[in-house]
Each structure stands twice: as structure tokens, then as C-alpha cells.
Structure 1
Amino acid sequence: MTSSEPYDAPSLSRAAEALERIAAALERLVPAAPERQDFSAADAFIFSAHAPHLSAVARVNRVDMALLRGIDRLRDILTDNTERFARGFPANNALLWGARGMGKSSLVKAAHADVNTRLSGVGGLAPLKLIEIHREDIDSLPLLMGVLREASYRFVVFCDDLSFDAADTNYKSLKAVLEGGIEGRPQNVLFYATSNRRHILSREMVDNERGTAINPGEAVEEKVSLSDRFGLWLGFHACSQAEYLDMVFGYAEHFGLAQDRPAIEREALEWAITRGARSGRTAFQYIQDLAGRLGKRLD
């Protein structure tokens, strides 16, 4: 068919259908904007980037602040930072890093609950909201920030076990959101993350950059600069035997299980040895075993 010949109707129809299919495919690739969220429904939410959607959490899985032993100084620093933010004053993003099972994520959730309890009834202050975002959804942070920016509440966005491996470039989205992007972090949003790594990025990832870059120093600086976006670095370290037993008996007394202290001490130490670690998580796992054997609930 030459340019001087008219287009036939079937050809035009097929072309129109092809364009519609292409347009539909492109629309599926673009994330839909989240529905307007009712943040008064709960004090905690989980963000899912697939919908995208914020799901209200009716009952947060958390430990009472009084049961977090051996981290008093870290507890006070994070709680004070969180309360300042809840009151509308400047506060820092926080990275809680270090030994596994030492209460990093538990402290974030406990600090949120503690601050809301203490500020309850204070005139003009709405409850602080806790938003959990999963590690695999970090690249959707700009979308979440856009939703929270327009809300009348203040939010702590929390990511547990945050780390990045080789070939993972999502850390760049996080850097831009925390500091450095055009929009930056909204004034009503604070970001807390926990990680076993101080610099979040795997050693192999940094070493690879050092080995292949023309200027190794600049490559490494670009990688570790992510941690610099956090104004607070709170380090959690492995506990001593005395601190471990203090955690065990703190739980035992709280749940009414501390009848035979010598037996509990002996069993708790054996429990830690068989697992190769002393931590708050190990202590609570022993308490769960003890309560089960005694036929008691941990409510």
C-alpha cells in the first residue's frame, strides 16, 4: 500500500487495538497511587509496595520497655529522640546496628509505644504513627513518602534488618530520601532502621567496588555514605553472662515463673551454651520453653 492509497478500516482497527494493548501494558508497569489512608484507624501500619497499600496493625508484636535489659543508655537516647520528634522538634534518623538478638527492633517498637503513652492527652499532639516497610520494598520509599507528606500525623518509618548485597542499587533510593534528594525527607517523617552491619552494605560489596574502580577510595566512600544519612548510630553488643541472666530473670519475674531461681539459672546458661549465643532473644526463647513446660501462658 503506497502513501497515496487510503488506509482500510481493518488495518486501522488492528492498529488501534495494538496501541490499546501497549497502553495497558505501560499502565501495569507504573505503580498505582495508594488509596487515601485513614491513619486514625491504628497507631501502626505495614506498607506493601505491590498494591501499594498501608495495612493497619491492630496489635503490635512488641516487648514492654521495662523488659529490655542491658541497653539502658541506648533506650534513653532513642526514646528521647523519638519524643522530641513527636513533640514537633528536630530529631535524627537512627540506625540501630550490632549483635543479633540484642533488642534492636524491640527497642524501636517499645520506644514508639512508650512515647505515645507518655504524650497521651497532651494538648495539640496527635499519636505518633509507626510504619513498617520491608527491605524488598525500599525502592518504593519515594512513593510512601509522597503519601505521608500530605498527612496531618507524624510518622516513624521503620525497616528491620536493612542491608544490601552486591548488584543491589536500591540503597541509592534510600540515600536520596533520607538526605540529598530534591524533595528530601518530609518534616513529619523520621526513618529508623536496624542492621547487623554498621555500614549496612556487605563487606564483599565494598571490596568489589574497591577492586574494580578506577579510584577505589571514591567508590568505597560512595558506598559507606549511606550510613552517614543517619544522625544517630546506636551500637548493640553481645551481652555478658550477668546481663544475660538479668534478662532471663526479668522475663521470669514478669511472667510469674521465677519460683526456682537456681534451677532457672542453671537451665538458662545451658540453653545459651547450646545455641552459642547470649542475647535477649535467647533469653526469651528459654522463657518460652520454661513457660511451656510449666503449663503457663505468656499473655
Structure 2
Amino acid sequence: MSKNIDNIINSLNEISKSIDKIRNDHKRIDKKLFDVYKCFIWDSKFNTIRPVKKINRININLLIGIDSAKETLIKNTSFFAKGLTANNVLLWGSRGMGKSSLVKAVHYEINKKINPNLYLIQLDKNDLAAIPFLLNNLEDKEKKFIIFCDDLSFENTNENYKSLKVMLEGGLEEKPSNVLFYATSNRRHLIPKSIINDDDNSITSYENIDEKISLSDRFGIWLGFHKCSYDQYNNIVLNYAKQFEIDFIKDDFLSEANQWSINRGSRSGRVAWQFIINYCAKKNIKII
């Protein structure tokens, strides 16, 4: 009987070791991937990063009307790529004005022109708890990493902001100097106004909200993106047409572009791009 129990215990121990090995394999970052790929996405299913083989980005020259933000992000990323001090960045503001497109375009330009060992890792806002693991595994004297979170925001019950605080400020343990955090958000303070204006006046509720609002203050650089004016929208459309060498009659072309924005109920860089896609398809013009 005792022998059978010992065998069962030994078998359970072996199973436990196998499970631990699988778990560790899933969590291990294969550093050889950095020799081949420049962009990665955090895969929450396997608790590791996976390479992006075909990157969804547009040429930085197509991003117009956001010159100040573009210049600031290029400079900050250049400093970082050169091994100088740089800030975490929050890109906030109107939808469709090129926040995430700018991050991806700037990374590409700096990687190509300044430092080929600059990497971009996209992290979903629901996976911020992975930040400590990434910080522990990305420390490298030769490589630079930008952790990028698109559409970052927090609801009242979301506790992921605590992991983000570690990224932005560090804790007792110093965070690696070769990792930066870039985030985009439609909300300047990262939480909806409905929560800020909540009637719950309890001390606990107020402190939780105040702590989340203060997160945005921990970004060294804020870049604001605002709604398109009529002229800015027309300039974006014309710039797209120029870049893709599209022949058109200006008045008719802009008339169509503005009717498109009216039908959409908004003007933005995204709406302008969607108009170009539709216009070129109607004219049998291939641009992609």
C-alpha cells in the first residue's frame, strides 16, 4: 500500500514538473526573434510576445496637420534610440487623427535611420498586468524597446493601472532604462468623465479616481490631437492624392471628399483615408 502511495506521489511530482516546464516555456521570450522582427504583440494566451510579420503602418509623410506632435515624438524617440534620456508619451485626443499611426510610423523611421535595435511591442490595455514580466525580460544593453498601448483607458473597476504605475515610475526596483511606454487615448485623463463626475463622494471612491487621473501626470510628454478643420481635412485629402499620384480635377475632387465627410458625420485623417480608398476603387486605381 505504502509503495503504491509512493508511486502515486512520484507520478504527481513528475506531472507537476512537466506542467511547470510547459508554463515556463510559454513565458520565455525567444530572443532570437529580435534578429528577424522589429514589431511584436503581447499574446495573452501564451503569456509571451509574438512577432508581427506584416505591419499595418502608413508613410510618415502622409501624416499631416499634426506637425508639432510629429516633431516632438520623433525627437523623443531619437533621444531614446541614441541611448539618451527620454520620456514616456501619452498621445491623447480626437479619434482618427493619427495617434497610433504616428507611433508606428515614427518607430519605423527611427529604426531605419538611427537604431536598428529599436523594437515596438504592442500591449492591449487589458494585459497591462504583463508589464512587470516584460520589464524583467527586456533588459538589454544593446536593444531598446517601446511598449505601446493603443486606446488606453480605465473603468472604475479596472485595477490594471497599478501595473502601469510600475512602468511609469518604477517601484523599489529600478525599471530598465532601455524600455519606454507610449500610449494613445481618446481621454486626456484616461478615465471617462462619467466616473470623474460620479456622485459617489466616499473617500475610497475619490482616492481611487484621483489615483487613476494622476496616471496621466506621470507621462513626461502629452501630445494633443484635435478635430480637423475644413481646411486641414482638404489638405490631408490633397496630400494623399499627391503621394499616390492620383489625377483629379481639384474642385470636383474636394467636393466629393467633403460630401464623404458629411455622410460620415466627421472630418479626420481616418475619414480622409477612407475617402481615398473609395475614390480610387471607383476610378480603378490601385494604391495598396
Same fold (TM over 0.5): yes
Pick from 57, 62, 68 the counterpart of residue 57 of structure 2.
62
Q: Which protein has the larger Cα radius of gyration, Structure 1 or Structure 2?
A: 1
AA of the residue aligned to 1:72: D
Are positions 1:46 and 2:34 aligned together?
Answer: no
**Could you list the runs of 5+ residues in structure 1 that have no partner in the other structure?**
1-6, 120-124
Mark the CA change 1:276 to 1:185 in structure 2 (over 3 Å): closer, same or farther.
farther
Instruction: Give the 3 Å change call, closer, same or farther, for CA 28–222 of structure 1 in structure 2.
Output: farther
State the distance in 1 between where 2:26 and 2:201 align: 38
**Paired residues of 2:156 and 2:209 also in contact (CA < 8 A):** no
Aligned to 1:260: 249
Unmatched 5+ stretches in structure 2: none
CA distance in 1, matches of 2:216, 2:25: 28
Residues 147 and 26 from structure 1, CA distance in 2 versus in 1: closer, same or farther, beyond 3 angstroms?
Answer: closer
Partner of 1:243: 232
Report the TM-score when normalising by structure 2: 0.89
Name the aligned partner's letter for residue 203 of structure 1: K
Corresponding residue for 1:287? Answer: 276
Letter of the 1:95 counterpart:
L
Task: Give the Cα–Cα distance (whole angstroms) in 1 for the partners of residues 167 and 24 of structure 2.
Answer: 20
CA RMSD of aligned residues (A): 2.5
1:156 aligns with 2:146: yes
In structure 2, give the amino acid aligned to 1:171. Y
Which residue is 2:73 aligned to? 78
Aligned to 2:28: 34
Q: 1:252–1:201: structure 2 CA closer, same or farther, 3 Å change rule?
A: same
Structure 1 residues 154-193: aligned runs within 5 Å: 154-193=144-183
Match of 1:93 among 85, 88, 94: 88
Question: In structure 2, what residue type is equivalent to 1:33?
Answer: K
**Do 2:117 and 2:142's aligned partners in 1 also have CA atoms closer than 8 Å?**
no
Cα shift at 1:127: 3.2
- SS of 2:120's partner is strand
CA deviations on 1:203-241 (whole Å, 9 max, x unpaired) are 334445x71532665443212111122100111000100
Whether the aligned pair in 2 keeps the contact of 1:86 and 1:154 (CA below 8 Å) is: yes
Misfit runs of 4+, over 6 Å: 15-31
Matched-pair contact (CA < 8 Å) for 1:249–1:258: no
Matches within 5 A, 1:107-186: 107-119=102-114, 125-150=115-140, 152-186=142-176
User: Which shifted more, 270-279 or 148-157?
Assistant: 148-157
Residue 42 of structure 1 and its aligned partner are, at CA, apart by 1.9
- Corresponding residue SS for 2:200: helix
Q: How far apart are the structure 2 equivalents of 1:218 and 1:114?
A: 41
Q: How does 1:186-225 map to 2 (within 5 A)?
A: 186-208=176-198, 211=200, 213-214=202-203, 218-225=207-214
Is 1:226 matched with 2:215?
A: yes
TM-superposed CA distance for 1:47, in Å, is: 2.1
Deviation at 1:152? 2.5
Q: Deviations over 1:241-292 (max 9, x none)?
A: 0000100111111112242221111111111111111000000000000011
SS at match of 2:237: helix
Cα distance change, pair 17–166 in 1 and its aligned pair in 2 (3 A) = farther
State the 1:35 CA deviation. Answer: 3.5
Match of 1:298, SS state, is: coil
Change (3 A) 1:171 1:20: same
Name the aligned partner's letter for residue 195 of structure 1: S
* Percentage of pairs with the same residue: 39
